[in-house]
């Protein structure tokens, strides 16, 4: 399984990275986890514009889903259109919300390009991947994902505050892509996001192989996020996500 960080900026794009988008590949199949603001541009550095086979959206905040709208244009009106519809696994409200974001009536919405399936907690298959979706701790319906292929496992937190379900999803994963949006402070909003220290504490409980801190908010000093993560009790390697970074899991 190959994982490419297309975008890792938290909440909005930064100068060096779009918002959340991760390309996961195996057996020639290409799946996106999230498709946040600006990521459609950077995606084209890694694969062809029409090479996406499936999309999973963790939740419907703009920084995780909004580039579906631009991609609808590409797949509906591109030079060889119509392109095959691709599956999109997303919260149930996605067809309505994304049609509204595009400026389209709900019928037909974005259905010419995408076949939407409503996520619910549990297991499903996407191409060669076995995926487990679990509800995480965020103010809207939001999922984390566990993606397994060929005996290796990637876990992705989506956006979450402290959350036992994230530990379950990540249990024994080779790589945990975990959000670390907040810096430690006495008055942090609960049930919204994690600090680096909290991300590392989840990684330690789940006994993952490697922790990559992501959803890095541009106004934070990311060196401090990494420093705080070092105090979270996780013994394995910890690093900051960076746009364009690739991980080969085997």
What are the residues binding Zn ion (CB under 5 A)?
61, 63, 159
The CB-of-139 to Zn ion minimum distance in angstroms stands at 8
Provide the minimum distance between the beta carbon of 178 and Zn ion in the complex, in angstroms, as a whole number.
Answer: 13
Q: Can you tell me the distance from the alpha carbon of 10 to that of 29, in angstroms, rounded to the nearest whole number? A: 26
Residue (39 or 148) nearer to Zn ion, CB: 39
Separation CA 191–CA 67 (nearest Å): 26
Shortest Å distance, C-beta 138 to Zn ion: 5
Cβ at position 249, least distance to Zn ion in Å:
24
**Minimal distance, residue 194 CB to Zn ion, in Å:** 11
Nearer to Zn ion, 63 or 67 (CB): 63
Nearest CB to Zn ion, comparing residues 63 and 162 = 63
136: buried, middle or exposed (CB in 10 Å: 19+, 13-18, 0-12)? buried
CA 216 – CA 227 distance, rounded (Å) = 14
Using the structure block, give the residue that is written with the tokens 């399936």: 117
* Nearer to Zn ion among residue 95 and residue 158 (C-beta): 158
CA distance 21 to 31: 10
| Residue 78: how many other CB atoms lie within 10 Å | 13
Closest CA to 35 of 103, 117, 90: 90
Cα 44 from chain centre: 17
Burial class (CB in 10 A: 0-12, 13-18, 19+), 80: exposed
Minimum CB distance to Zn ion smaller for 25 or for 159: 159
Nearer to Zn ion, 62 or 81 (CB): 62
Of 19, 20, 16, 45, nearest to 33 by C-alpha is 20
Residue 144 CB, shortest distance to Zn ion, in Å, is 12
Rank residues 148 and 195 by Cβ distance to Zn ion and give the closer one: 195
Nearest to 58, CA basis, from 175, 178, 162, 167: 178
Least Cβ distance, residue 80 to Zn ion (angstroms)? 33
């Amino acid at each position: 399984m190959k994982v490419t960080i297309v975008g890792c900026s938290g909440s909005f794009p930064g100068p060096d990275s779009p918002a959340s988008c991760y390309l996961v590949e195996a057996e020639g199949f290409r799946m996106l986890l999230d498709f946040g603001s600006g990521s459609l541009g950077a995606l084209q550095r890694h694969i062809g514009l029409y090479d996406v086979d499936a999309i999973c959206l963790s939740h419907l905040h703009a920084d995780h889903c909004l580039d579906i709208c631009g991609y609808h244009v590409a797949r509906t009106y591109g030079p060889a259109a119509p392109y095959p519809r691709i599956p999109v696994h997303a919260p149930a409200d996605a067809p309505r919300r994304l049609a509204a974001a595009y400026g389209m009536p709900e019928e037909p919405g974005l259905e010419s390009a995408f076949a939407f399936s409503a996520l619910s907690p549990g297991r499903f298959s996407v191409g060669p991947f076995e995926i487990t979706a679990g509800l995480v701790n965020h103010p809207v319906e939001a999922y984390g994902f566990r993606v397994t292929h060929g005996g290796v496992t990637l876990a992705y937190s989506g956006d979450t505050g402290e959350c036992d379900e994230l530990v379950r999803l990540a249990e024994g994963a080779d790589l945990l892509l975990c959000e670390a949006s907040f810096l430690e402070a006495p008055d942090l909003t609960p049930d919204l996001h994690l600090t680096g220290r909290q991300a590392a504490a989840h990684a330690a409980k789940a006994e993952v192989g490697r922790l990559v801190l992501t959803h890095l908010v541009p106004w934070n000093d990311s060196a401090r996020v990494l420093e705080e993560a070092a105090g979270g009790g996780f013994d394995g390697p910890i690093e900051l996500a960076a746009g364009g970074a690739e991980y080969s899991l085997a």
